[in-house]
């Protein structure tokens, strides 16, 4: 069984395809917590839960009551058909960490149908979980935004940076790019070395750096220092349009 947290039709807010109309499926659950990002959300049971800006899609214990259980690929396709969409609209699979479901038959069937129907499929992933490209060739047709976590996530190094996984995805997928969330403080704390220790596993893959933050105020505070950092290092700056425009990360 899979858990779907939310779905919405919007524009892609970050990374290489910023601005492209996309239907988002946000899946529930993640193999990390990223408490270092310091976003706090109150669950319906009253618990204050610390994590990333999508903690409501990560923490199963406190938030799964609001998640939608999915028992067949058809249920996901029915979601898609609820919308009045342009043909072959881009599909973004995000989370949480969508690749926790990478070997689920329901998930594979869903991907195959999307691909057969001509949709471009992009995964937003932390790039720490193995993808079996030989067993499931449909993954070779997908795009992967590799949002590898840096030390500001407070996750252990051996969990957040899996060189073998990064290399495998970047060399097997149709397309991949790195996407890092960066705050002003990290820029002064040896960030360049950290980014290099990730990108060395696929040196030709493009790098996008985005301002960290779950609110417009936080994103704005981190924007200008990050732009200066990108200018010096030659990385691409990526905005987080959905947060800047709507000041939130849910359903937009």
| Structural contact between residues 229 and 239, judged by C-beta atoms closer than 8 angstroms | no
CB of 232 to ligand SF4, least distance (A): 26
Residues 32/153, Cβ–Cβ less than 8 Å: yes
User: x/- string (CB under 6 A) for ligand SF4, residues 129-158?
Assistant: --------------------x---x-----
CA-derived radius of gyration, the chain: 17
Stretch that binds ligand SF4, among 32-40, 77-85, 206-214, 216-224 (CB under 6 A): 32-40
Scanning 20-28, 29-37, 166-174, 227-235 for contacts with ligand SF4 by CB under 6 A, the matching segment is: 29-37
Quote the CA–CA distance of 148 and 154 in Å, as a whole number: 12
Report, in Å, the least distance between residue 141 CB and ligand SF4: 23
213 binds ligand SF4 (CB under 6 A): no
Residue list 91-110, contact with ligand SF4 (CB under 6 A): 95-97
Under the binding rule (CB under 6 A), the answer on residue 32 touching ligand SF4 is: yes
Q: State which of residues 7, 33, 112, 250 lies at the interface with ligand SF4 (CB under 6 A).
A: 33
54 in contact with ligand SF4 (CB under 6 A):
yes
Distance CA 180, CA 153 (A): 11
Please name the residue that has the structure tokens 């594979």.
108
DSSP string computed for 80-141 = HHTS---TT-EEEEESS-GGGGTT-HHHHHHHHHHHHTT--EEEEE-S-S---TTT-GGGGG
With b meaning 16 or more CB within 10 Å and e meaning fewer, what string describes 127-149? bbbebebeeeebbebbbbbbbbb
User: Of 17 and 180, which CB lies nearer to ligand SF4 in the complex structure?
Assistant: 180
Full DSSP string of 219-237: HHHHHHHHHHHHHHHTPEE
Question: Binding residue for ligand SF4 (CB under 6 A) from 49, 52, 182, 198?
Answer: 52
Residue 36 CB, shortest distance to ligand SF4, in Å, is: 9
Q: Which residues bind ligand SF4 (CB under 6 A)?
A: 30, 32-34, 51-52, 54, 58, 95-97, 126, 149, 153
């Amino acid at each position: 069984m899979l858990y779907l947290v939310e779905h919405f039709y919007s524009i892609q807010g970050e990374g290489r395809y910023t601005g492209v109309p996309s239907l988002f499926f946000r899946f529930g659950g993640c193999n990390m917590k990223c408490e270092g990002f310091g976003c706090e959300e109150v669950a319906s049971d009253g618990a204050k839960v610390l994590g990333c800006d999508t903690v409501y899609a990560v923490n199963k214990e406190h938030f799964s009551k609001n998640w939608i259980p999915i028992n067949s690929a058809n249920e996901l396709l029915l979601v898609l058909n609820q919308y009045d969409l342009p043909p072959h609209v881009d599909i973004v699979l995000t989370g949480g960490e969508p690749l926790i479901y990478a070997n689920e038959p329901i998930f594979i069937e869903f991907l195959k149908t999307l691909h057969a129907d001509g949709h471009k499929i992009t995964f937003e992933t932390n790039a720490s979980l193995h993808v079996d490209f030989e067993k499931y060739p449909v993954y070779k047709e997908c795009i992967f935004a590799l949002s590898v976590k840096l030390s500001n996530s407070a996750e252990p190094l051996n969990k957040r940076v899996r060189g073998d996984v990064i290399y495998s995805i970047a060399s097997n997928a149709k397309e991949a790019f790195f996407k890092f969330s960066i705050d002003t403080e990290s820029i002064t704390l040896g960030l360049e070395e950290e980014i290099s220790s990730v990108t060395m596993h696929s040196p030709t893959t493009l790098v996008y750096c985005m301002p960290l933050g779950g609110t417009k105020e936080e994103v704005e505070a981190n924007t200008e220092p990050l732009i200066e950092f990108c200018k010096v290092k030659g990385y691409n700056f990526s905005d987080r349009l959905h947060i800047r425009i709507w000041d939130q990360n849910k359903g937009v």
